[in-house]
Structure 1
Amino acid sequence: MVHILKRIFCAGVLICVGILRTSAASLSLPPAPYSYTVLDQDLAAALQEFGNNLNIRVNVSADVRGRIRGRMPDLPPREFLDRLTALYNLQWYYDGLVLYISAAQEAQSRLIVLNPISFDALKAALDALNISDERYIVKPAPGEGLILASGPPRFVALVDQTLKGLVAEAQARRSPAAERSQHESVLMLFRGSSSTVFRDGRPEASPETPLHGGAVREAGPGQK
């Protein structure tokens, strides 16, 4: 959670200076064609080798299965990756540190409670942290304070973690006075036409309230 809060703080700084990006972390790959010749190789092993050859950390899901047979055409690395994901029904997501590759069947669609954070605040944080990806969905859902996040598991998990970080930050910013007011004890003591308010066991001045006979009454919620 501390890590997420640090990222949220950085997002706030970026938002304040107006530096917002609408795409995921950039996967920088060289433009030169990626030559890869294979006769018969496990798909997951080929993807790991792809990352090793380009000095990129790769996390391949256990659900990625299949074999590559025959020679792949010489393509720029990004096109090579996209070709494999299209041929073998995969999805990939780069979070700035690791390239996550998963089977399309692992894609998640999750309804997430948004309150008390606004959708605009969440979207701005996702953009500033380079989590947003135009290929995958984060949008308001029908209902009160709900969003729909859809995409590979890593993408959906980052959306959820970012929202939790924003909620934690909002709670940390709550004023001590507001926090105390929710837990303080208020007692009103009436004697004849006079009244005394005891707040957390301490008497304080209170407007006179006519009432016949002595009575003690607990103040209702929000009553001062």
Structure 2
Amino acid sequence: MKNILIVGVFISLSAVRALGATLELPSTPYTYTVLDQDLAAALQEFGNNLNIRINVSTHVKGRIRGRMPDLAPRDFLERVTTLYNLQWYYDGLVLYVSDAHEAESRLLVLNPVTFDAFKAALDALKISDERYVVRAAPEDGLVFASGPPRFIALVDQMLNGLVAEAQARRTLTTTAKPAPASVLMLFRGSSSTVIRDGRPEGPVLPEATHQDNVAHAPGPSQR
């Protein structure tokens, strides 16, 4: 028996607040009627019909049987992921759908980055997602992260980038410190000249004489 697919016509788009990057979906109902279809194929069709790039994990298994109720696309996505124990994450370009069993948990070393700076960077680039965990661990310099593979991959990349930047700044600061100035006192007869970093700064005690590496002012008999 042929699968029957009916897709509603979408006229208006509304920017629905996404939990990570903004996933723009229509507000009008997504009508999806199917008698029996592979779950991964149904999700790919969902992305195609809404012109959204979608990546469905090979671990997503199962079949959709029977008619789905008419729901707004966001509600449809949430219903399917709930019914089939899936997780979804949108990174701003691609909608990733994975099996909940693929979720990962990581304990990451923050040093030399602070947790506040790390979290602020995740928020600024819209990687943060309130459904998935990023929190400071009880031990200093550690952060615990948990979520679907794509989310964890971006969290990991962000931390690696911040650590590399902090280390580069530290190296630059260290190498930028001026070397101690080299100072040489050059004596020529009764005059002496200071040479600092290879450059003469002018005579010192022009009327002084130098004996045994000590500069003396001329005595009365020498005047």
TM normalised by structure 2 equals 0.69
Query: Following the alignment from structure 2 to structure 1, what is the Cα–Cα distance between the partners of residues 51 and 19?
Result: 22
Which deviations, in whole Å up to 9, do the C-alpha atoms of 1:125-176 show, x marking residues without a partner?
Answer: 0000000001000001132311000000110110110011111111222254
Percent identical: 73
Rounded Cα–Cα distance in structure 2 between residues aligned with 1:96 and 1:115: 28
User: Does the 8 A contact of 2:19 with 2:131 survive in 1?
Assistant: no
Higher relative contact order (CA 8 A, sep 6+): 1
Is 2:98 the counterpart of 1:96?
Answer: no
- Runs of 4+ in structure 1 off by over 6 angstroms are none
Name 2:76's counterpart in structure 1: 80
Q: Is the 8 A contact 2:87 2:97 kept in 1?
A: yes
- Which residue of structure 1 lines up, in the alignment, with residue 115 of structure 2? 119
For residues 68 and 23 of structure 1, do their structure 2 counterparts lie closer, same or farther at Cα, with a shift above 3 Å needed?
closer
Q: Which digits, 9 at most, give the CA deviation of each residue in 1:96-135, with x for residues without a partner?
A: 0000000000111110111100000000000000000010
The worse-fitting range, judged by mean Cα deviation, of 68-77 and 135-144 is: 135-144
Give 3-state SS (helix, strand or coil) of 1:68's partner: strand
Shift of 1:178: 1.2
User: Which residue number in structure 1 is paired with residue 54 of structure 2?
Assistant: 58
Q: Which runs of 5+ in 2 are unaligned?
A: 1-16, 180-223
- Does residue 1:48 correspond to 2:8, yes or no? no
SS at match of 1:101: strand
Corresponding position of 1:37: 33
Compute the RMSD of aligned alpha carbons.
2.0
8 Å CA contact 2:85–2:99 kept in 1: the answer is: yes
The answer on whether the counterparts of 2:35 and 2:67 sit within 8 Å (CA) in structure 1 is yes
**Contiguous gaps of at least 5 residues in structure 1:** 1-20, 185-224
For this pair of structures, how many residues does the alignment match? Answer: 163
TM score, norm. by length of structure 1: 0.69
Structure with the larger helix share = 1
- Quick check: which has more Rg, 1 or 2? 2
